Chains A and B, each alone.
Chain A
Amino acid sequence: MEIFANLFNILYQFLDSFSFLILSAIGLAIIFGMMRIINLAHGEFMMLGAYITSACYLAGIPLLFAIILGAIGVGIFGLIIDRLVICHLYGRPLDSVVATWGISLIMTQGFLILLGATFEGPSTPLGSFVVGDRNYSVYRILLVFIAISLLIFMYWIFMHTKFGLKSRATMQNNEMASSLGTNTKRMNTITFMVGSMFAGLAGGLYAPTMAITPSFGSAFLMESFITVLVGGANPLIGTVVSGGALGVVNSGLSYLYGTFIGRVGLLIVAILFIRLWPFGFSGLIEKKMMRVK
Chain B
Amino acid sequence: MKRLTAENVTAGLLFIFLIFYPLMASAYNVLNMSYFLSMVFLSLSLALIWGLAGIFSFGQTAFFGIGGYSYAIISLNLDIPDITFIVLISALLIAGIAAWILGYFIFYGGVNDVFVGLITLCVTLVLATFMSQTAGSQWKIGSVPLGGDNGINNIPSISIGNIISFERNYLYYLILIVLVVVYLLLRKISHSKSGYKLIAVRENRERSELFGYNIPLIQTMVFTLGGVLAALSGVFYVTWGGYISPSSMGITAAALPVVLVAAAGRKNLTAVILFTIIYYMFSQYLSVTGSEYALVVLGFTLVVVILLVPQGVFASLFQLLDRLLFKKK
Q: Which of the listed residues B122, B123, B302 has the most CB atoms from chain A within 10 Å of its own CB?
A: B122
Q: A225-B118, A274-B111, A278-B111 are in contact. Are A113 and B296 (CB under 8 A)?
A: yes
B114 touches A99 (CB 8 A): no
The interface on chain A, measured as residues whose beta carbon lies within 8 A of the other chain's beta carbons, has a size of: 40
A260 touches B129 (CB 8 A): yes
Minimum C-beta distance from A115 to chain B (A):
13
* Set of chain B residues within 8 Å of A93, measured between Cβ atoms: 113-114
CA distance A225 to B121 in the complex (A): 10
| Number of interchain pairs (Cβ within 8 Å) | 110
Minimum C-beta distance from B267 to chain A (A):
13
B56 touches A105 (CB 8 A): no
A272 touches B295 (CB 8 A): no
Is residue B130 within 8 Å, beta carbon to beta carbon, of the partner chain? yes
B123 touches A97 (CB 8 A): no
A102 touches B302 (CB 8 A): yes
Is residue A17 within 8 Å, beta carbon to beta carbon, of the partner chain? no
Contact stretch, chosen from B3-11, B29-37, B102-110: B102-110
CA distance A38 to B119 in the complex (A): 13
Is residue A218 within 8 Å, beta carbon to beta carbon, of the partner chain? yes
CA distance A97 to B130 in the complex (A): 25
Is residue A64 within 8 Å, beta carbon to beta carbon, of the partner chain? no
The interface on chain B, measured as residues whose beta carbon lies within 8 A of the other chain's beta carbons, has a size of: 39
Is residue B126 within 8 Å, beta carbon to beta carbon, of the partner chain? yes
Minimum C-beta distance from B218 to chain A (A):
17
CA distance A36 to B301 in the complex (A): 24
Q: Which of the listed residues A103, A218, A271, A276 has the most CB atoms from chain B within 10 Å of its own CB?
A: A271
Closest to B123 in A: A267
B109 touches A104 (CB 8 A): no
CA distance A97 to B258 in the complex (A): 11
Q: Which of the listed residues B123, B296, B300 has the most CB atoms from chain A within 10 Å of its own CB?
A: B296
Closest to A279 in B: B110
A105 touches B295 (CB 8 A): yes
Contact stretch, chosen from B17-25, B141-149, B163-171, B303-311: B303-311
A229 touches B118 (CB 8 A): yes
Tell me which of A112, A271, A274 contacts B292 (CB under 8 A): A112
Is residue B12 within 8 Å, beta carbon to beta carbon, of the partner chain? no
Closest to B119 in A: A271
Is residue B133 within 8 Å, beta carbon to beta carbon, of the partner chain? yes
* Set of chain B residues within 8 Å of A168, measured between Cβ atoms: none
A278 touches B110 (CB 8 A): yes
Tell me which of A106, A229, A264, A272 contacts B126 (CB under 8 A): A264
Minimum C-beta distance from A227 to chain B (A):
11
Is residue B251 within 8 Å, beta carbon to beta carbon, of the partner chain? yes
CB neighbors of B among A4-39 (8 A): 36, 38
Is residue A146 within 8 Å, beta carbon to beta carbon, of the partner chain? no
Minimum C-beta distance from A33 to chain B (A):
13
The majority secondary structure among interface residues of chain B is: helix
Is residue A120 within 8 Å, beta carbon to beta carbon, of the partner chain? no
CA distance A106 to B56 in the complex (A): 21
Is residue A255 within 8 Å, beta carbon to beta carbon, of the partner chain? no
A218 touches B251 (CB 8 A): yes
A263 touches B306 (CB 8 A): no
B111 touches A89 (CB 8 A): no
CB neighbors of B among A211-266 (8 A): 218, 221-222, 225-226, 229, 260, 263-264
Closest to B262 in A: A98
B302 touches A99 (CB 8 A): yes
A99 touches B126 (CB 8 A): no
Is residue A94 within 8 Å, beta carbon to beta carbon, of the partner chain? yes
CB neighbors of B among A97-128 (8 A): 97-99, 101-106, 108-110, 112-113
B115 touches A105 (CB 8 A): no
* Set of chain A residues within 8 Å of B303, measured between Cβ atoms: 85, 99, 102-103, 106
B118 touches A271 (CB 8 A): no
B123 touches A101 (CB 8 A): no
B302 touches A97 (CB 8 A): no
Is residue B298 within 8 Å, beta carbon to beta carbon, of the partner chain? yes
Tell me which of A88, A98, A113, A267 contacts B293 (CB under 8 A): A113
Q: Which of the listed residues B110, B117, B130, B299 has the most CB atoms from chain A within 10 Å of its own CB?
A: B299
Minimum C-beta distance from B111 to chain A (A):
5
* Set of chain A residues within 8 Å of B105, measured between Cβ atoms: 271-272, 274-275
Closest to B304 in A: A102
Is residue B125 within 8 Å, beta carbon to beta carbon, of the partner chain? yes
B114 touches A97 (CB 8 A): yes
Q: A106-B296, A278-B109 are in contact. Are A260 and B133 (CB under 8 A)?
A: yes
Is residue B230 within 8 Å, beta carbon to beta carbon, of the partner chain? no
Tell me which of B122, B296, B300, B307 contacts A267 (CB under 8 A): B122
B300 touches A102 (CB 8 A): yes
Is residue B255 within 8 Å, beta carbon to beta carbon, of the partner chain? yes
Q: Mark A275-289, 1 if CB is under 8 A from B, else 0.
A: 110100000000000
CA distance A255 to B216 in the complex (A): 37
Minimum C-beta distance from B100 to chain A (A):
14
Interface, chain A (partner B; CB < 8 A): 36, 38, 85, 88-89, 92-95, 97-99, 101-106, 108-110, 112-113, 218, 221-222, 225-226, 229, 260, 263-264, 267, 270-272, 274-276, 278
10 residue pairs of the A-B complex, CB under 8 angstroms, read: A85-B307, A89-B306, A99-B307, A102-B306, A105-B298, A218-B251, A226-B122, A260-B130, A260-B133, A275-B108
4 nearest A-B pairs in the assembled complex, by CB-CB distance: A102-B302, A105-B299, A278-B110, A275-B109
